[in-house]
Structure 1
Amino acid sequence: MKNILIIGAGNAGETLASEILTSDDNNEYNILCFLDDDINKREVNINHHSIKVKGKVKDIEHIIKHYKDNNTDIEEIIIAIPTLKQKELLEILDIIYPTGIRYKILPGFFEIIKGNASIKDIRNLEPSDLLGREEIGFDEKEISEYYKDKTILVTGGGGSIGSELVRQLITLPVKKVMALDNSESAVHNLIMSLNDRNNEKHKHKFMYIISNVRDYVKVDKILKEEKPDIIFHAAAHKHLPFMESYPEEAIKNNILATENIATLAIKNNIKNFVFISTDKAVRPTSLMGASKRICERMIMSLSHEQNNTAFKITRFGNVLGSSGSVIPVFEKQIREGKALTVTHPEMVRFFMSIREAARLVIKACTLNDGIIFTLDMGKPVKILDLAKNMLKMYGLTEKDIPIIFTGIREGEKLYEEILMDDETLIPSQYKKLFIAKDSVKCLTPEERKVMIDAFDIASLDADKETIKMLMRKYIEEYTG
């Protein structure tokens, strides 16, 4: 068994310790002591066990030496303070790093309600822990009834957001969750992720489909046979530099594919359709962002012209850890000992974890008011600060691995926005989830057809300037 030290003798730490001491499944941890900065906490009493609070966090080296002198090594440190702010967490990490002892964290209140901490919640520190913001909760009790016995289709189901949607949806009382993706490897990775002990009991609800969402005939057949109650449309090209180089692919996979699946949803009487958008669709400067704004306008137009399908749009900032995002890039550079590359020292972004992004989408679907839903993203984060904190998370400094600036890329902004100028936010029934009122001019069915035909032809010609001209025609605020 590992000898561990728990930082935090509050409700979460105490409940965690209780499970470790009383669980029949625990053969991993032996608690030596607690550390807590509250001088009034002397010991924690659990089921006839008394565990001492040996001191404050700053005393950690002294505590380690004390145990070592008594032939006992502390093998792991668990941080069990769900309310930690970013600054406080970084200060604790500064104290832990020199010890060389492995550490893990008990996540925030979104996973631990009222001190209901569990061994299974202990995990390695993640970049999302460095954001300094509390993630939104799942509110499972509130949404379970809505999802009961529902059949759900997730396009792009093997992607970063799509796969997390699948993993969270199968934990709800749904009938079936289908992941549609044209990437074999992405679907294989999703299947492998469902083999862990947390997902094992839900796997029977899962089904995969290898298909391209642009295949009208096949998708129509799937919708007729499977009759999903909800479609989450997450399939998209999202890598900004790639779409600047190949804008025709942004048209095909974002605009034309969305028009395809959305019109098929109406044709097959699908009750709910949720489109995954991005903050880059707000006053877009990139072709990727512009393509998503075209999709938003199309979805809002379809919503107004019929009553068969309820359309919703979820819009949020950068997702930590998703493919192509800055975090995996930093992690790879750190592992390889290469310099961290930041485009500009003043570059800022809104961030959220993949878990949180999926929760926003899942909860937004249950709401009846509004079409565009967005999250209170908190304060934007400087990419430079994130790079420095990533180094700190690995116990490194800029002396070990430097940070270099590479310059802003084509179509990139120094900062992102969540709202258009004429949009206003209205609180929803869920914490931090808001309804955005967008006054966009909807297209008539005839105007939409003309637009789609024009983009279709432009995608075949693959002429960047023609595509940009079309974007400006249909999105006045596009400045690319």
Structure 2
Amino acid sequence: MEQLLAKVFRLHRRVKRCIELLVDTLLLSTSFCLALVLKQDSLAALLAPETWSALLLGIPVSLFVLVQLGFYRTVIRYSYLNMGSLKALLLGVASSVLVFHVVSLFTGLSLSSTTLLIYGILAMLTVGGVRYLLRTLYHLQATGRRTRVAIYGAGACGSQLAALLRQSGEYLPVAFVDDWRGMHGTQVEGLQVYPSQELHHLINHYSVERILLAIPSTTRARRREILETLAPLCVPIQTVPGMEDVVSGRALIQDIRDVAVEDLLGRDPVPPMMELLDANIRAKVVMVTGAGGSIGSELCRQILRLRPRRLVLLDNCEYSLYAIEAELRQIACLEDLPDIIEPLLGSVQQRSRLEGMMRAFQVQTVYHAAAYKHVPIVEFNVIEGVRNNVFGTLETARAAISARVETFVLISTDKAVRPTNVMGTTKRLAELICQALSMEQSTTRFCMVRFGNVLGSSGSVIPLFRSQIARGGPITVTHRAITRYFMTIPEAAMLVLQAGAMGKGGDVFVLDMGSPVEIAELARRMVYLSGLEVKDDSHPGGDIEIQYTGLRPGEKLYEELLVGTDVTPTRHPRILSARETCWKWMQLDALLIQLQLSVERGDIEQIRQLLLDSPTSYQPQGPIVDLIWQAHSPRGGLETLTAITPPSSESESTASSAAERDLANIALLKGYQ
């Protein structure tokens, strides 16, 4: 039977229409004859020549009417007796009844109104019933190879999704789940609506293999709550695109995707202040250094939509520059934006080249995002880390002053606060450079924006965890107690643009990152959302194991956002202003000269000592691990300034207190606002 149905559905469309016409000829003829027999309770009427004359005239005309009404354009396996096909069937059968009434007058066949009514009912049941039966058989055959899903959300989006999935060959919706009590016990698209508390029962009863979230309009906070309740079910969870993507045409309701980690960690966005966004960008020439990086590229996307006079992209990686330029030109084409993009290859360490660029394009605003940010990589390559992060910022800042740039915004990091690694220390030095230069001149207004990790960046743990889960594990986490602040890249970029407009000179802005996240708990949630179970002592039969590998060189258990406690609120609820100590330029310049000489000599030990002497609160937690230094060291790099010590309970306590201190400061400021 399955093979026969498969062959029938694979026939050419014209052949299938001919078969439909032949079958309907038989069904209409049978319905007419059966109506006569039922009315007269005798087979004698079938033998009358008037009956055959009526059939020979009425059936072709009836079929012609059905063809004109578009009844045969419906694909049977995708039809669900929707209003269009049902309307065509009703009109066609009604027309056929009228045709037989007129034909009976010409042929002399006596047809009562009752006979015509019986014929109409039988024709509806046979012609419509055969199609429904074929569709049901087709879907029953396909059910065995389709994934059974429950749809969370019985609203308009869920209803539309269920109808679309029925026509697909991949998913089979079996039930709805909704939090609104008014929907419980009702039916949507022929499926029962259940409360979320019954999900565990539904998974067992209906053999649900996947849960689809059809709640595109809900807030991120509510979405996060729902995901936390679904995680222990160990069933893969997917979602439909957000409503803004559907409305803008960037996605369709049926574009099912995996749940993004942003849904677990992201916050509800705060509406941007357009006057802050426009201040440094609209109708101005804007340069973004590190334009091909995670933050730099998102800054470029948002800046382009704010309609600057010109957008200058600077990156030292040819491919990254090519990729972001191509993407921005596509955005400009799709959104009818002017072609104002200028892609430039170059290094932030080349002051003359930078100054030439800024003068040539008359740059008014610089967003300095170019930096080496991967902690262990910079620990292994100290000289390049210092050269790029410290002196790259210095040369870019000097070029900006010389080219009379109006505003210079440094993208900093939470790792610059009481750093334990070279990367964080160099970023703190970059902040100090901008603060010192801000006091030395009035041509360029400097400000710094400090924030933590961004979701989905090139160095983020999330892509790593996702690939490790796809390979079947294990997931590698450095420490059980390690925590990090997280923010989505679009939110971080939007806040950077707004913070840059509030600076008066030498300001350090800190973004409200929310609460710190335990990395081990994040890994567990990602495993659960993949429909798998964490393998540990309590669940030895689990799917994915989490392995703790130990802190990497320079890595901290926790990160902080504030150096001190002198912090004030700003006009924006998620941007804080921090007052922090800094050196004047003469004192800092003397340190930088020594640091430059040490970099040129390749003296790693002297570089570390100078970093310790700088006002950065640098506290290295281990020996020098620079790869070149280790290769040249006579004792294999065993000389240490500080011994490696495993994190103690005291350090974990310090991590907890530091995180609590940051959260308390932020909460206090929110209270003032």
Q: Is structure 2 residue 598 aligned with structure 1 residue 458?
A: yes
SS at match of 2:476: strand
The two structures, once aligned, show a CA RMSD in angstroms of 3.7
Q: Which runs of 5+ in 2 are unaligned?
A: 1-77, 79-147, 162-167, 535-541, 621-673
- Cα deviation for residue 464 of structure 1 reads 2.1
Q: Taking structure 1 as reference, are residues 4 and 387 closer, same or farther at Cα in structure 2, changes over 3 Å only?
A: closer
Q: Taking structure 1 as reference, are residues 203 and 180 closer, same or farther at Cα in structure 2, changes over 3 Å only?
A: farther
Partner of 2:631: none
Q: Taking structure 1 as reference, are residues 17 and 341 closer, same or farther at Cα in structure 2, changes over 3 Å only?
A: closer
- Cα deviation for residue 244 of structure 1 reads 1.3
Partner of 2:404: 269
- Cα deviation for residue 85 of structure 1 reads 5.7
Matches of 1:404 and 1:148, distance apart in 2: 49
Q: Is structure 2 residue 318 aligned with structure 1 residue 184?
A: yes
- Cα deviation for residue 354 of structure 1 reads 1.3
SS at match of 2:449: strand
SS at match of 1:174: coil
Matches of 2:283 and 2:545, distance apart in 1: 52
Matches of 1:120 and 1:56, distance apart in 2: 32
Question: Is the 8 Å Cα contact of residues 151 and 211 (structure 2) preserved in structure 1?
Answer: no
- Cα deviation for residue 240 of structure 1 reads 0.9
Q: Is structure 2 residue 571 aligned with structure 1 residue 429?
A: yes
Partner of 2:226: 88
Matches of 2:516 and 2:531, distance apart in 1: 24
Question: Is the 8 Å Cα contact of residues 138 and 359 (structure 1) preserved in structure 2?
Answer: no
- Cα deviation for residue 270 of structure 1 reads 0.7
Q: Taking structure 1 as reference, are residues 66 and 188 closer, same or farther at Cα in structure 2, changes over 3 Å only?
A: farther
Partner of 2:554: 411
- Deviation string 1:347-372 (CA, Å, 9 cap, x unpaired) is 11111121122112111112145711
Matches of 2:492 and 2:278, distance apart in 1: 21
- Cα deviation for residue 18 of structure 1 reads 11
Paired AA for residue 583 in structure 2: C
Q: Taking structure 1 as reference, are residues 138 and 187 closer, same or farther at Cα in structure 2, changes over 3 Å only?
A: farther
Partner of 1:384: 520
Paired AA for residue 477 in structure 1: S
How many residues of Structure 1 are paired with residues of Structure 2 in the alignment?
451
Matches of 2:440 and 2:421, distance apart in 1: 29
Q: Taking structure 1 as reference, are residues 302 and 435 closer, same or farther at Cα in structure 2, changes over 3 Å only?
A: same
Partner of 2:483: 348
Paired AA for residue 209 in structure 1: L
Residue of structure 2 aligned with 1:394, choices 527, 530, 538:
530
Q: Taking structure 1 as reference, are residues 199 and 42 closer, same or farther at Cα in structure 2, changes over 3 Å only?
A: farther
Q: Equivalences for 1:309-348 in 2 at 5 Å?
A: 309-348=444-483
- Cα deviation for residue 101 of structure 1 reads 7.2
Matches of 1:141 and 1:351, distance apart in 2: 24
- Cα deviation for residue 390 of structure 1 reads 1.7
Question: Is the 8 Å Cα contact of residues 19 and 119 (structure 1) preserved in structure 2?
Answer: no
Question: Is the 8 Å Cα contact of residues 445 and 504 (structure 2) preserved in structure 1?
Answer: no
Q: Is structure 2 residue 303 aligned with structure 1 residue 169?
A: yes
Q: Equivalences for 1:268-287 in 2 at 5 Å?
A: 268-287=403-422
SS at match of 2:438: helix
Question: Is the 8 Å Cα contact of residues 137 and 359 (structure 1) preserved in structure 2?
Answer: no
Is the deviation greater in 364-373 or in 166-175? 364-373
Matches of 2:530 and 2:617, distance apart in 1: 41
Partner of 1:130: 264
Partner of 1:447: 587
Residue of structure 2 aligned with 1:150, choices 284, 294, 298:
284
Question: Is the 8 Å Cα contact of residues 310 and 341 (structure 2) preserved in structure 1?
Answer: yes
Paired AA for residue 441 in structure 1: C
Q: Is structure 2 residue 613 aligned with structure 1 residue 473?
A: yes
Matches of 2:551 and 2:238, distance apart in 1: 37
Q: Taking structure 1 as reference, are residues 342 and 33 closer, same or farther at Cα in structure 2, changes over 3 Å only?
A: closer
Matches of 1:366 and 1:137, distance apart in 2: 17
Q: Taking structure 1 as reference, are residues 34 and 312 closer, same or farther at Cα in structure 2, changes over 3 Å only?
A: farther
- Cα deviation for residue 223 of structure 1 reads 0.3
SS at match of 1:311: strand
Q: Taking structure 1 as reference, are residues 4 and 338 closer, same or farther at Cα in structure 2, changes over 3 Å only?
A: closer
Matches of 2:357 and 2:590, distance apart in 1: 27
Q: Taking structure 1 as reference, are residues 276 and 74 closer, same or farther at Cα in structure 2, changes over 3 Å only?
A: closer
Q: Taking structure 1 as reference, are residues 186 and 441 closer, same or farther at Cα in structure 2, changes over 3 Å only?
A: same
- Cα deviation for residue 102 of structure 1 reads 4.3
Matches of 2:610 and 2:239, distance apart in 1: 53
Matches of 2:608 and 2:399, distance apart in 1: 28
- Cα deviation for residue 88 of structure 1 reads 2.9
- Deviation string 1:185-219 (CA, Å, 9 cap, x unpaired) is 21233235446669732472333111111122211
- Deviation string 1:438-462 (CA, Å, 9 cap, x unpaired) is 1x13323x33332222121111222
SS at match of 2:240: strand
Q: Taking structure 1 as reference, are residues 188 and 284 closer, same or farther at Cα in structure 2, changes over 3 Å only?
A: same
Partner of 1:374: 510
- Cα deviation for residue 344 of structure 1 reads 0.7
Partner of 1:24: none
Paired AA for residue 521 in structure 2: D
Partner of 1:23: none
SS at match of 1:84: helix
- Cα deviation for residue 269 of structure 1 reads 1.1
Q: Taking structure 1 as reference, are residues 43 and 134 closer, same or farther at Cα in structure 2, changes over 3 Å only?
A: farther
Matches of 1:266 and 1:390, distance apart in 2: 47
Q: Taking structure 1 as reference, are residues 94 and 117 closer, same or farther at Cα in structure 2, changes over 3 Å only?
A: farther
Paired AA for residue 282 in structure 2: K
Partner of 1:54: 193
- Deviation string 1:214-262 (CA, Å, 9 cap, x unpaired) is 1222111110011122100000011111111221111110000100010
Matches of 1:199 and 1:347, distance apart in 2: 44
Question: Is the 8 Å Cα contact of residues 54 and 63 (structure 1) preserved in structure 2?
Answer: no
- Deviation string 1:7-38 (CA, Å, 9 cap, x unpaired) is 446xxx66x68999xxxxxx9x9x99964212
Partner of 1:78: 214
Q: Is structure 2 residue 272 aligned with structure 1 residue 139?
A: yes
Partner of 2:140: none
Question: Is the 8 Å Cα contact of residues 42 and 52 (structure 1) preserved in structure 2?
Answer: no
Looking at secondary structure, tell me which structure has more strand per residue: 1
Paired AA for residue 37 in structure 1: D
Matches of 2:333 and 2:544, distance apart in 1: 38
Matches of 1:101 and 1:381, distance apart in 2: 21
Partner of 1:38: 180
Matches of 2:471 and 2:343, distance apart in 1: 35
Matches of 1:61 and 1:256, distance apart in 2: 58
Q: Which structure has the greater CA radius of gyration? A: 2
Is the deviation greater in 465-474 or in 122-131? 122-131
Matches of 2:414 and 2:497, distance apart in 1: 18
Matches of 1:328 and 1:479, distance apart in 2: 30
Paired AA for residue 224 in structure 1: R
Partner of 1:209: 344
Q: Higher RCO, 1 or 2 (CA under 8 Å, sep at least 6)?
A: 1
Matches of 1:75 and 1:479, distance apart in 2: 48
Q: Which runs of 5+ in 1 are unaligned?
A: 21-26
Matches of 1:127 and 1:226, distance apart in 2: 40
Partner of 2:75: none
